[in-house]
């Protein structure tokens, strides 16, 4: 699960991790009202207005409706004109940004509608660093990654100048040890107050990452201010969905507007579904087989419209629900049901499909491949129904048939 930058900063602030002063706004009035207290508290006349969407690259992103406005706007009007000039500028920006569509390199051309802004204090930046905590799968442990190259894409740094990335693997029984923190301080060339503040920051963040069950905490950039403070200028966080049951306060931060409605509906029904761009709808049991079904469709010249894993223990009702989600997608020009029954029985799938077709109708070709547990019974149920189904011998045969039929 992902959250917004402002929510990440709220979580950090609550654990004593330094973040800039900021306020959330969902209306123009709230954005304007945020200015005066921030400027008064920080004594800095500059504020920054940041669009809140679940995608990176906001600074370089542009609004479709207002190509001169980016996702992160620095407002300097207050330096000469005082608070009222800042308020006026923020008002104009919020007017344009709220409800408009921000396109970044991560959103695709369709962009994302901005519903929330974060108004933040300006920062006098001395240095921009990079800091993240994430799982190293080979180690089976979390790793702290840090770099002097803040503000850049870390993948690019890793590719071009891998020696500039510092890594410290965290022993879960010990936590991030002092000698490891010291190595980071040296590697980042931090001294004096900045070093002291960084030590506090990274230790608190490492503890927090475990406490939150986050699968990624990325602070890019982590800034050192001209007076030696160290704070998170941006904050990207992801959380382990499997651990959300013990973090109701984080689960409540979910913003359904940032998620695909069909994916949410599927999740509520206990199905694993991901919407894609192609035309062949897929209904499969098992995550690996569901991925492989998409690959096979592509291999024979088609494009999958979705990933859908009904799981090992789905009942007829869930299968019917899965079928309805696929048929309600207007992109879908053909449906491929691919089942290898293990725990999941082929007759359960067959009953679910027949029920769903009877209920919602079938306007596109349907190819079904059944194999495994109770396969004969499954095939009989489909044959004896009046549902118009093309049977497939195996997975590749089924993929070829549906791609040919769907054009």
Partner 1 sequence: MSILVNKDTKLIIQGLGSTGQFHTEKAIAYGTNMVGAVHPSKAGKTHVFEGETDHSGVPDRPDTYRVELPIFASVAEAVAETGANASVLYVPPPFAADAIMEAAASEIALAVTITEGIPVADMVRAKRYLDDKKTRLVGPNCPGVITPKQCKIGIMPGYIHQPGKIGVISRSGTLTYEAVHQLTQLGLGQTTAVGIGGDPVNGTNFVDVLRMFSDDPETEGVIMIGEIGGTAEEEAAAFVAEEMDKPVAGFIAGTTAPPGKRMGHAGAIVSGGKGTAEAKIAAMTEAGIVVAPTPTDMGNAMVEAMG
Residues found near partner 1 in the complex (CB under 8 A): 135, 137-138, 140-142, 154-155, 158, 171-173, 210, 213, 215, 240-243, 245-246, 272, 274, 276, 284-292, 294-299, 304, 307, 309, 312-313, 340-343, 371-373, 394-397, 399
Measured from the CB of residue 16, what is the shortest distance to partner 1 in angstroms?
A: 21
Measured from the CB of residue 359, what is the shortest distance to partner 1 in angstroms?
A: 26
Decide if 54 contacts 113 (C-beta within 8 A): no
Of these residues, 118, 168, 218, 273, which one is catalytic?
Answer: 218
Measured from the CB of residue 98, what is the shortest distance to partner 1 in angstroms?
A: 26
**First vs last Cα of the chain: how many Å apart?**
36
Of these residues, 130, 149, 168, 273, which one is catalytic?
Answer: 130
Sequence-separated (6 or more) residues with CB below 8 Å from residue 261 = none
Measured from the CB of residue 312, what is the shortest distance to partner 1 in angstroms?
A: 7
Measured from the CB of residue 135, what is the shortest distance to partner 1 in angstroms?
A: 6
Question: Three-class SS of residue 165?
Answer: strand
Dihedral sign (CA 120, 43, 148, 134):
negative
Decide if 102 contacts 114 (C-beta within 8 A): yes
The residues that bridge with 23 in the sheet, in sequence order, are 119
Nearer to partner 1, 33 or 269 (CB): 269
Q: Whole-angstrom Cα distance, residue 299 to residue 45?
A: 58
In degrees rounded to 5, what are phi and psi of residue 362? -140, 110
Measured from the CB of residue 242, what is the shortest distance to partner 1 in angstroms?
A: 5
Nearest to 105 by CA among 49, 69, 58: 58
Decide if 195 contacts 211 (C-beta within 8 A): no
Decide if 54 contacts 2 (C-beta within 8 A): yes
- Distant-in-sequence contacts of 275-279, Cβ < 8 A, 24+ apart: 275/305, 275/306, 275/329, 276/303, 276/304, 276/305, 276/306, 276/307, 277/303, 277/305, 277/331, 278/302, 278/303, 278/304, 278/305, 278/331, 279/303, 279/305, 279/331, 279/332, 279/333, 279/334, 279/406
Q: Which helix (H) or strand (E) holds 218?
A: strand 214-225
Nearer to partner 1, 57 or 81 (CB): 57
> Does residue 66 have an active-site annotation?
no
CA dist 193 → 196, 330, 332 (Å): 5, 58, 59
Taking each helix axis as running N to C, give the angle between helix 346-360 and helix 375-384, from 0 to 180 degrees, rounded to the nearest 10. Answer: 20
Residue position matching structure tokens 């803040």: 150
Nearer to partner 1, 32 or 280 (CB): 280
Nearer to partner 1, 56 or 352 (CB): 56
Nearer to partner 1, 99 or 342 (CB): 342
Measured from the CB of residue 155, what is the shortest distance to partner 1 in angstroms?
A: 5
Nearer to partner 1, 33 or 375 (CB): 375
Nearer to partner 1, 299 or 358 (CB): 299
Question: Which residues are tagged catalytic?
Answer: 130, 218
């Amino acid at each position: 699960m992902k959250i917004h930058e402002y929510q990440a900063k709220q979580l950090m602030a609550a654990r004593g991790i330094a973040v800039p002063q900021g306020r959330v706004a969902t209306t123009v009035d709230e954005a304007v009202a945020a200015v005066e207290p921030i400027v008064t508290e920080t004594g800095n006349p500059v504020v920054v207005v940041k669009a809140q969407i679940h995608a990176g690259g906001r600074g370089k992103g542009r609004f479709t409706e207002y190509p001169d406005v980016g996702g992160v706007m620095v407002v300097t009007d207050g330096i000469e004109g005082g608070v009222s000039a800042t308020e006026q500028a923020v008002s104009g920006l919020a007017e344009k940004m709220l409800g408009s569509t921000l396109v970044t390199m991560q959103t695709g051309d369709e962009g994302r509608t901005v519903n929330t802004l974060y108004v933040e204090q300006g920062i006098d930046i001395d240095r921009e660093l990079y800091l993240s905590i994430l799982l190293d799968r080979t180690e089976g442990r979390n790793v702290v990654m840090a770099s002097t190259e803040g503000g850049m894409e870390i993948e690019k740094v890793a590719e071009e100048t891998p020696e500039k990335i510092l890594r410290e693997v965290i022993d879960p029984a010990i936590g991030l040890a002092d000698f490891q923190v010291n190595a980071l301080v040296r590697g980042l060339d931090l001294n004096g107050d900045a070093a002291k503040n960084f030590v506090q920051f990274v230790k608190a963040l490492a503890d927090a990452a475990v406490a939150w069950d986050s699968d990624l905490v990325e602070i890019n950039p982590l800034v050192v201010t001209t007076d030696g403070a160290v704070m998170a200028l941006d904050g990207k966080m992801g959380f382990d969905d499997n651990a959300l049951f013990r973090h109701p306060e984080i689960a409540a931060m979910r913003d359904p507007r940032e998620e695909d409605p069909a994916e949410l509906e599927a999740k509520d029904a206990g199905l694993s579904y991901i919407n894609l761009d192609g035309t062949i709808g897929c209904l499969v049991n098992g995550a690996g087989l569901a991925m492989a079904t998409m690959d096979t469709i592509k291999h024979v010249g088609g494009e999958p419209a979705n990933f859908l894993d009904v799981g090992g223990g789905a009942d007829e009702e869930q299968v019917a629900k899965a079928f309805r989600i696929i048929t309600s997608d207007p992109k879908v020009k053909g449906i491929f049901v691919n089942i290898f029954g293990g725990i999941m029985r082929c007759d359960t799938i067959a009953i679910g499909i027949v029920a769903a077709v009877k209920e919602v109708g079938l306007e596109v070709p349907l190819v079904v491949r059944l194999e495994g547990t109770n396969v004969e019974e499954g095939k009989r149920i489909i044959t004896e129904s009046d549902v118009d189904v093309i049977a497939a011998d195996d997975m590749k045969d089924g993929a070829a048939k549906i791609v040919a039929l769907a054009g």
